[in-house]
Amino acid sequence: MDPIDKQVATYMRGSEFGDLQIKEQMAKELRQRLIEAQKEGRPLRVYCGFDVTAPDLHLGHTIPMNKLRQFQDFGHDVTFVIGTFTTLIGDPSDRDEARVVALKERVMKNARTYAEQAFKILDKKKTSIKYNYDWLSKLTFTDVISMASCFTVQQFIARDRIRNRLDKGDPIWLRELLYALAQGYDAVHLKTDVQLGATEQLFNLMAGRRLQEAFGQKPQVCLTYPVLVGTDGNDRMSKSRGNYIGIAEPPEEIYGKTMSIPDSILMQYFEMLTDVPDEELVKFKQQIERGVNPMSLKKRLAREFVTRFYSAKDARTAEEHFEKTVQKKEIPDEVEEYRIEPGITISQLLVDSGLTASRSEAVRLIKQGAVTSDGKKIDDFNESVNKGVIIKVGKRRYLKTI
């Protein structure tokens, strides 16, 4: 296969635009941009932006990140943009309601963890980390009005999620409409050739093309990919919904959560999150269609994830932990110890020890019957915890109080 054809096929694999004509146009422009860059003897400038709505990156984020890594492996320049300004606005593309305005201090704190975690996938030596607060915060009101003149109100309200909220009479804040301008200007500032994003963000990426033309630049190629369904098999992956797999979570947690996904989304995870060859994926589908127990395939997937974010050795250890604690229902040989103060409640213990990210998550798990003390189910989130007991959360998380 021609080297450029190979690149196009690699980048377009798994892409989804919701419009076949746009997909064909972007593939054509991508090939042409690669040919031009080759003649000029330069790499493409490629970027993807990530708003810091939570402190950790999860598997959903890795879909475009894997593509960024592919661009790096082919020798192109990659910029990982952390949306320290756009997070403050809130992207309406994936919401049926307005986002709560983010606090700047929290955004900046979360941004630091994003930068650290990005290199679990990206090549640190070949990655430029940038924060869009650095340039978006310096725009003047005149700049914003000038950019806004490139669009009509009708273009914004024609978007499905905005239209649905209008039809229901829900408020749409003006700041939400400005989000596309902010993301679009990222492309202008970076003089980008290619921008990656989620399918639902296509409008924002196309806004970048329009602004680049207005600023005398060649419009970027837009590549969009589907949003990942969470471990519940229903809603998009999100930490706030508790259906996520964080890439910085311990190996045992990543492995165990992967084993918990419904069979119905197993192939979707293989296709969207791994580099398993298409020929093997066909065999996997055939196994599932024949009614073969998917346990072995889930273990393969779990090993893929742990190996990618940690190592093959960690994957083997995580698998042994899963087989012992879940399949054989034994208490692991080594359980983390946590020193408690007299009278501490179970909900507070779960938060303080890091077993849950928040008190609301702790309360939710207790109500679901997912928390036990020495094997006895806890149903009162204000129940006091004694020393010397084994606390179990879900199927995989253990803690011994001392």
pLDDT of residue 270: 95
Q: H or E stretch including 202? A: helix 202-214
**Among candidates 294, 243, 301, which has minimal Cα distance to 274?**
301
What is the separation of C-alpha 145 from the centre of its chain, rounded to a whole number of angstroms? 32
Residue 206 is predicted with a pLDDT of 96
Mean pLDDT of 121-142: 95
Structure tokens of 239? 């930490």
pLDDT reported for residue 333: 67
Q: What is the arithmetic mean of pLDDT over 195-213?
A: 96
Tally Cβ neighbours within 10 Å of residue 138: 10
Please say if the pLDDT value at position 117 is more than 70.
yes
Higher pLDDT, 112 or 317: 317
Q: For 65-90, how does the pLDDT look when each residue is reduced to its tens digit (9 = 90+)?
A: 999 999 999 999 999 999 999 998 88
101 touches 88 (CB < 8 A) = yes
Q: Token match 């640190």: residue?
A: 124
* Percent of the chain residues topping a pLDDT of 90: 60
Q: Is the pLDDT of residue 132 over 70?
A: yes
- 60: which 2 tokens? 């959903």
Give the model's pLDDT for residue 62. Answer: 96
As a whole number, mean pLDDT of residues 54-64 equals 91
Q: What is the mean pLDDT of the chain?
A: 90
At 149, is the secondary structure helix, strand, or coil? coil
Which residue segments constitute the domains of the chain, with CATH numbers given? 3-225 (3.40.50.620), 251-327 (1.10.240.10), 337-401 (3.10.290.10)
- Tell me the residue ranges of DSSP E strands in 111-233: 127-131, 194-198, 221-225
pLDDT > 70: what percent of the chain?
Answer: 96
| Tens digit of each residue's pLDDT (9 = 90 or more) over 326-385 | 877 777 767 788 888 888 999 989 988 888 878 888 888 888 888 988 778 888 888 888
Q: Which two tokens stand for residue 290?
A: 């024949």
Mean pLDDT, residues 208-222? 97
Confidence class of residue 147 from pLDDT cuts 50, 70 and 90?
very high
Residue 39 to residues 32, 43, 44, 366, Cα–Cα distance (Å):
11, 10, 12, 62
pLDDT range class, residue 97, cuts 50, 70, 90: very low
**Cβ proximity of 206 and 57 under 8 Å:** no
The pLDDT tens digits for 259-303 are: 999 999 999 999 999 989 989 999 999 988 888 888 999 999 999
> Is beta strand 221-225 parallel, antiparallel or unpaired with respect to 194-198?
parallel
pLDDT at site 149: 95
Question: 135 or 52: which carries more pLDDT confidence?
Answer: 135
User: Which pairing describes strands 376-377 and 371-373: parallel, antiparallel, or unpaired?
Assistant: antiparallel
Instruction: Identify the DSSP state of 249.
Output: S
Q: How many CB atoms lie within 10 A of CB 19?
A: 12
Q: What band does 392 get if pLDDT is binned at 50, 70 and 90?
A: confident
Average pLDDT over residues 208-220: 97
Please tell me the least confidently modeled range out of 124-128, 162-166, 245-249. Answer: 162-166
pLDDT of residue 102: 54
Looking at the predicted structure, is the pLDDT value of residue 95 above 50? no
